[in-house]
């Protein structure tokens, strides 16, 4: 495989091995492509086999290395197997982007159910916890690595009718900060991205109509949704040595919504 890159995709990650969960669509898919274009060997993971195999085919067509692994972050044994397969395939694990998660149901606080709680916290918190734990065990053993979690701007601010989702993303930032304190001196940096409204299938599910989504997007400073590719570049920065002194940070990439 070649590892040539364009001006828009500097080869900052050549020789690295990157694992992306939730890679079948949206930010995860864009991040897998971006990391590959910057030279990383990518393990793309999700529950939907056809989508990640199509992604891997696209990466390979561009001349980069990638492999698809079906996994479910709701199952710890699946997470353990995912990390093991990444290491078995490429010999190590340098970068992990924990993007898999769910929005659950957006309803008034008093209507939120135990079932929705379990669905959201299993994927968004316990799945991230398991992923970080087993990724870090490999990274600590090999002498270093980078973990990046998707925390959403919902990890920093609140929204009505989204109590459980918001709580889960605050928890992701808590895991990020605590792990950074424990692992930074041992060579493992841990950060999170906090995207705002991004043009992804996730957002299409959240809003009742395209008009409602656009109305919310208009409240950002530039007056638009972000793109998955813009978020992927944030992930690539945090994954690179350019962010060598950045750890325990939740990087807001929300078009200024949270300050406006």
CB 149 within 8 A of CB 172: yes
- H/E stretch holding 237 reads helix 228-239
For the cut 60, the answer to whether the pLDDT of residue 71 exceeds it is: yes
Mean pLDDT of 154-174: 95
According to the model, what pLDDT value does residue 43 have? Answer: 98
Provide the b/e sequence for 201-221 (b: ≥16 CB within 10 Å): ebbeebbeeeeebeeebeebe
In this prediction, residue 60 has a pLDDT band, given cuts at 50, 70 and 90, of very high
Residue 3 pLDDT grade (very low, low, confident, very high; cuts 50, 70, 90)? very low
Q: Looking at per-residue confidence, does 216 or 64 come out higher? A: 64
pLDDT digits (tens, 9 = 90+) for 111-155: 999 999 999 999 999 999 999 999 999 999 999 999 999 999 999
Residue 7: pLDDT band (50, 70, 90) is low
Could you give the count of Cα atoms lying within 13 Å of 88 in the half-sphere of its Cβ?
Answer: 7
Find all residues with CB under 8 Å of 4, minimum gap 6, and list them. Answer: 11, 63
CB under 8 Å to 212, separation ≥6 — which residues? Answer: none
**DSSP code for 198:** B
Q: In what order do the strands lie in the sheet with 66-70?
A: 66-70, 41-46, 17-20, 95-98, 145-150, 188-195, 250-253
Residue 1 has pLDDT above 60, yes or no: no
Q: Which residue has the higher pLDDT, 142 or 10?
A: 142
Note the pLDDT of residue 151.
Answer: 96
Least confident of 5-9, 52-56, 179-183, 220-224: 5-9
Per-residue pLDDT at 214:
86
Residues 10-16, mean pLDDT to the nearest whole number: 92
Q: What is the pLDDT of residue 213?
A: 79
Q: Which residue has the higher pLDDT, 203 or 235?
A: 235
Give me the active site residues, please. 165
- For each of the domains in the chain, give its residue range(s) and CATH number, in order of start: 17-253 (3.40.50.720)
Quote the CA–CA distance of 218 and 212 in Å, as a whole number: 10
Q: Is 47 left (phi over 0), alpha (psi -120 to 50) or beta?
A: alpha
Mean pLDDT of all residues in 9-26: 94
Give the pLDDT score at 149: 98
Q: Quick check: helix, strand or coil at residue 188?
A: strand
Per-residue pLDDT, averaged over 89-102, amounts to 97
């Amino acid at each position: 495989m070649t590892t040539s890159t364009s001006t828009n995709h500097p080869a900052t990650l050549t020789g690295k091995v990157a694992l992306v969960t939730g890679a079948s669509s949206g930010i995860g898919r864009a991040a897998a492509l971006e990391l590959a274009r910057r030279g990383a060997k990518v393990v793309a993971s999700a529950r939907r086999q056809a989508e990640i195999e199509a992604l891997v085919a696209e990466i390979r067509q561009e001349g980069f290395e990638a492999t698809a692994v079906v996994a479910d972050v709701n199952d710890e044994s699946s997470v353990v197997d995912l990390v093991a397969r990444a290491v078995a395939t490429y010999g190590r694990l340098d970068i992990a982007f924990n993007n898999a998660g769910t929005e659950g149901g957006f309803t008034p606080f008093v209507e939120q159910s135990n079932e929705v709680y379990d669905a959201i916290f299993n994927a968004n918190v316990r799945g991230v916890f398991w992923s970080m734990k087993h990724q870090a065990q490999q990274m600590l053993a090999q002498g270093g690595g980078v973990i990046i979690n998707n925390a959403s701007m919902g990890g920093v601010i609140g929204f009505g009718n989204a109590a459980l989702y918001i709580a889960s993303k605050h928890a992701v930032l808590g895991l990020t900060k605590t792990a950074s304190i424990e692992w930074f001196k041992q060579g493992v940096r841990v950060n999170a991205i906090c995207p705002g409204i991004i043009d992804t299938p996730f957002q299409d599910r959240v809003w009742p109509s395209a008009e409602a989504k656009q109305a919310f997007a208009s409240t950002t400073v530039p007056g638009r949704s972000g793109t998955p590719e813009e978020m992927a570049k944030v992930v690539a920065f945090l994954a690179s040595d350019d962010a060598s002194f950045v750890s325990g940070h939740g990087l807001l990439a929300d078009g200024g919504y949270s300050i406006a």
